[in-house]
Amino acid sequence: MAEDFNTNRSVILNTAVIVAALGYFVDIYDLILFSVVRVQSLSDLGISAAENLDKGVLLINMQMAGMLIGGILWGILGDKRGRLTVLFGSILLYSLANIANGFVQNIEQYALLRFIAGVGLAGELGAGVTLVSEVLPKEKRGLGTMIVATVGVSGALLAFWVGDFFGWRNAYFIGGGLGLLLLFLRVSVYESGMFKNLKEASVTRGDFFSLFTNGPRLKKYLMCILVGIPLWYVIGILITFSPEFGKSLGVQGEVSAGKAVFYSYFGLIFGDFLSGYLSQVLKSRNKVMVIFLLSSAAMITVYFLSKGVELNIFYFVCFGLGITSGFWAVFVTIAAEQFGTNLRATVATTVPNFVRGSVVPMTLAFNAMRPSVGLQTSAIILAAISIVLALFSISQLKESFGKDLDYYE
């Protein structure tokens, strides 16, 4: 019999946490799969090696554009219709899109389905984190989101193994199938008590535009977004295009994008666990973010200094990038804790997706700068901008550890 999480709130490993964690696991699998199978899938569709990078950027941008739009739609629905509606509606959409992705025959079909999948992928994390944050006591919710993130990012490891051993089409089929299987767990999950109370209150829910009509609220929202951008700079630029960086750096051997994703996400598992645990020990989200942002800056520097290294050393650097960028759990928890119940799902869903969507302007800027300053210099400029903005932003946000979340904006 399922637990009633509104009366038994002291359990960390309850069904809400487990379902959110497994949902994020499948979410990350599908989100990262394209980076793993990019070269193989585009080659099979007749794209030349010279065009692989440009077409890869196009498809990533389509996926991320879908996530930007989906983030807004699912976020509003999360506050208007409930966290569970979004949690499983998004899983259904991206699962079906990924199954269809296994049948594509040209770039146009590939791009359309990556966009649709992106819309679906946008909803799961924010809804899951919002639900977990609201059903756990304030002293323990950081542990809940730590579990969600740690289990979730390991989905990238499965994406690598499946993509490597079963081929890119089967990898999309398997990802879609895993998502559909996850839907059966829905029956054992309860909606959060805070949202049930919200439905009875005479307060506007899910008003996305209200984030832009109040100066302090808008500033807080923008700061939440900027804090997370360095992680997706690392994944969207340094790891996704690691084969091209490997050649530019003179790495001894051919860098596999799939293996770079594998090692970086393997590192993210440790990083997300460590950052979540440290936030509980230090009783601070902000201090942990500063520690990890500075550590990430150091590892990015090591990445660009890895000229002529052996292939295994380069992969070890990717592993280190993953550890130091493993602040996703803390980052999303900060966003959820900054806003009231009537806007929490909207914020917790849109913020991570705007961060993911930042890959679009970053890749566009990356490609625009490459002809004039080169591959490495353009990436270094983007790294410096993203780290500086993130450090400034976290300094502007109030500490949210232990904050009571049962209030309205």
Per-residue pLDDT for 275 more than 60?
Answer: yes
Quick one: what percent of the chain has pLDDT higher than 70? 91
Residue 199 lies in a domain: no
Single-letter residue type at 337: E
Per-residue pLDDT for 99 more than 90?
Answer: yes
pLDDT tens column, 168-191: 999 999 999 998 888 776 655 655
Quick one: what percent of the chain has pLDDT higher than 90? 41
Give the length of the chain. 409
Say what the pLDDT of residue 393 is.
97
Residue 2 lies in a domain: no
b/e burial code for range 35-67 (CB count within 10 A of at least 16 → b)? bbbbbbbbeeeebeeeebbebbbbbbbbbbbbb
Cα diameter, the chain: 64
Per-residue pLDDT for 363 more than 80?
Answer: yes
Q: Are 229 and 357 in contact (CB under 8 A)?
A: no
Say what the pLDDT of residue 191 is.
58
Q: Within a 13 Å sphere around the CA of 88, how many CA atoms are in the beta-carbon half?
A: 18
244-264 mean pLDDT:
91
Say what the pLDDT of residue 187 is.
58
Q: Are 339 and 224 in contact (CB under 8 A)?
A: no
363/225: higher pLDDT: 225
Say what the pLDDT of residue 403 is.
81
Say what the pLDDT of residue 288 is.
96
Residue 294 lies in a domain: yes
6/403: higher pLDDT: 403
Q: Which residues contact 316 (CB under 8 A, 6 or more apart)?
A: 263
pLDDT tens column, 327-337: 988 898 899 89
Residue 196 lies in a domain: no
Say what the pLDDT of residue 332 is.
86
Residue 368 lies in a domain: yes
Residue 118 lies in a domain: yes
Q: How confident is the model at residue 192 (pLDDT cuts 50, 70, 90)?
A: low
Which CATH number do you get for residue 337? Answer: 1.20.1250.20
3-state secondary structure of 206: coil
Per-residue pLDDT for 196 more than 60?
Answer: no
Per-residue pLDDT for 252 more than 90?
Answer: yes
Kindly write down the DSSP assignment for every residue of 218-246, as one continuous string.
HHHHHHHHHHHHHHHHIIIIIITTHHHHH
Q: Are 262 and 160 in contact (CB under 8 A)?
A: yes
Q: How confident is the model at residue 5 (pLDDT cuts 50, 70, 90)?
A: very low
Residue 252 DSSP label: B
Q: Which domain holds residue 49?
A: 17-187+208-396
Say what the pLDDT of residue 408 is.
72
Nearest C-alpha neighbor of 78 from the set 194, 161, 184, 248:
194
Q: Are 181 and 88 in contact (CB under 8 A)?
A: no
Kindly write down the DSSP assignment for every residue of 30-63, as one continuous string.
HHHHHHHHHHHHHHHTT--HHHHHHHHHHHHHHH
b/e burial code for range 74-107 (CB count within 10 A of at least 16 → b)? bbbbbbbbbbbbbbbbbbebbbbbbbbbbebeeb
Helix, strand, coil percentages, rounded to 5, for the chain:
80, 0, 20
Say what the pLDDT of residue 115 is.
94
Residue 34 lies in a domain: yes
Say what the pLDDT of residue 6 is.
44
Say what the pLDDT of residue 1 is.
33
38-45 mean pLDDT:
87
Q: In degrees to the nearest 10, what's the CA dihedral of 225, 227, 231, 233?
A: 70
Q: Within a 13 Å sphere around the CA of 21, how many CA atoms are in the beta-carbon half?
A: 20
Q: Are 21 and 147 in contact (CB under 8 A)?
A: yes
Q: Which uninterrupted H or E stretch holds 309?
A: none
Task: Please provide the average confidence, as pLDDT, over all residues in the chain.
Answer: 86
Say what the pLDDT of residue 22 is.
86
| Counted domains in the chain | 1
List the single range of 83-87, 143-147, 153-157, 405-409 with lowest mean pLDDT.
Answer: 405-409
Residue 403 lies in a domain: no
Say what the pLDDT of residue 190 is.
59
Per-residue pLDDT for 9 more than 50?
Answer: no
Say what the pLDDT of residue 229 is.
95
Q: How confident is the model at residue 259 (pLDDT cuts 50, 70, 90)?
A: confident
Q: Are 61 and 265 in contact (CB under 8 A)?
A: no
pLDDT tens column, 65-83: 888 898 888 888 878 877 7
206-228 mean pLDDT:
90
Query: Beta-carbon neighbour count of residue 217 at 10 Å?
Result: 17
